[in-house]
Amino acid sequence: MSAQYQTRLSDVDYLAQECLAPEKSEFLNGEIFAMAGATRAHNQITSNLVIALGSQLLNKPCSVYASDMKVHTRSESISKYSYPDVVATCGVEQFEDDHATVLLNPLLIIEVLSDSTEAYDRGLKFFHYQLIPSLREYLLVAQDYCRVEQYYRQADQQWVYSEYHELSDTVMIQTLGCEVKVAEIYRRVL
């Protein structure tokens, strides 16, 4: 059996291909990874988060985006394009492209966990996100039970971890100056 040759795409080729693709794919160092569709619960949680955060950011120089905004992670050895479930930024937004489809300076990234993505979202994906200098908060939200995990990057680059398990809990989103009740996150889900 012979090994098959796989062509690695450049960042530019990926972005051009992604504009025409019927389904979203993530990109890591020349390889493309198809994204699976989301469940109703996943979509509802994402919508709830966008509404809860967006309504608090109306009079601030901040924006919150759902899962169609790409984020580019760059380092000496990594070029990764991903589609976080929710991403937010404040102040001057920096985009890689003229069409403003690739955000470079997120402050907050939220991933809604599923059985197929949980290990990746907790591990390698979080590692990649930590390479984004502007990123200050990372939230992981379970979709099948009440659990919100929050990582907050301090000035010394250490991450502080918090967990929320009760619908009556409130998550303080420090980087945006917002608070979200856990019950709002899980509205129409739990």
CATH number (domain holding residue 94): 3.90.1570.10
Q: Is residue 27 part of a domain?
A: no
Q: Which domain holds residue 58?
A: 38-185
**pTM (two decimals):** 0.94
Q: Is residue 11 part of a domain?
A: no
Q: Is residue 179 part of a domain?
A: yes
Q: Is residue 130 part of a domain?
A: yes
Query: Region 74-102: what's the mean pLDDT?
Result: 95
If DSSP codes are grouped into helix, strand and coil, which group holds residue 11? helix
Instruction: Round the CA-based radius of gyration of the chain to a whole number and report it.
Output: 17
Task: Please give the Cα distance from 171 to 150 (Å, whole number).
Answer: 8
Q: Is residue 168 part of a domain?
A: yes
Top-confidence residue, 98 or 107: 107
pLDDT tens-digit series, residues 11-41: 999 999 999 998 999 999 999 998 988 999 9
Q: Is residue 23 part of a domain?
A: no
The number of folded domains in the chain is: 1
The contacts of residue 144 (CB under 8 Å, 6+ apart) are 41
Strand partners, 112: 141
Q: Is residue 32 part of a domain?
A: no
Q: Is residue 78 part of a domain?
A: yes
Label residue 6 by pLDDT band (50, 70, 90). Answer: low
The contacts of residue 166 (CB under 8 Å, 6+ apart) are 146, 182
State the burial class of residue 160 (Cβ atoms within 10 Å of its Cβ: 0-12, 13-18, 19+): exposed
At 8 the pLDDT is 86
